[in-house]
Amino acid sequence: MRVIDTNIFVRLLVADEPQQFDATRALIDREEVFVPVTVVLEAGWVLRSTFGRSEVEVAEDIADVAALPHVTIEAPERLACALRWTKAGMDFADALHLAAAREHDGFVTFDRALVKIATREGVSGVQLL
């Protein structure tokens, strides 16, 4: 199983470079690939900042790739949780950080808006410092 870089992940979603898209699609169709959570996080940033996608569009795009048969995502339960919270209005990066915190003793932030939405979504252990 090979690990793919963010640029491969993004090419698959935006298909802005036809040759690169075709090469990426061929790779994913013939081999198992692994996507680290860091690649997912960076891809979310690229999709928003470079391609103007909304948080919900990013969440949907990432979910589409994660569902492909030859794609293995690092920490899939964590990602699924973060995607659910993103679709509910949370920033994707914040949602991913918060999902990781579920495996620990809570999450501390200065971000009042994050605490508010986390509370609304029933996430426990989120504290304002």
CB–CB of 40/53 below 8 Å? no
pLDDT tens profile 73-109:
999 999 999 999 999 999 999 999 999 998 899 999 9
Task: List pLDDT tens digits, range 30-60.
Answer: 999 999 999 999 999 999 999 999 999 999 9
What is 19-74 written as a DSSP string? HHHHHHHHHHHHS-EEE-HHHHHHHHHHHHHTT---HHHHHHHHHHHHTSTTEEES
As a whole number of Å, the CA-based R_g of the chain is: 15
Q: Is the pLDDT of residue 19 over 90?
A: yes
How are beta strands 2-3 and 107-109 bridged, if at all? unpaired
Query: For residues 56 and 87, is the Cβ–Cβ distance under 8 A?
Result: yes
pLDDT category at 24 given cuts 50, 70, 90 is: very high
pLDDT surpassing 90 at residue 124: no
Question: Is residue 59 within 8 Å of 87, Cβ to Cβ?
Answer: yes
Task: Look at residue 25 and tell me whether its pLDDT is greater than 90.
Answer: yes
Please tell me the predicted confidence (pLDDT) of residue 103: 86
Domain boundaries, given as residue ranges, for the chain = 2-74
Quote the pLDDT of residue 96.
94
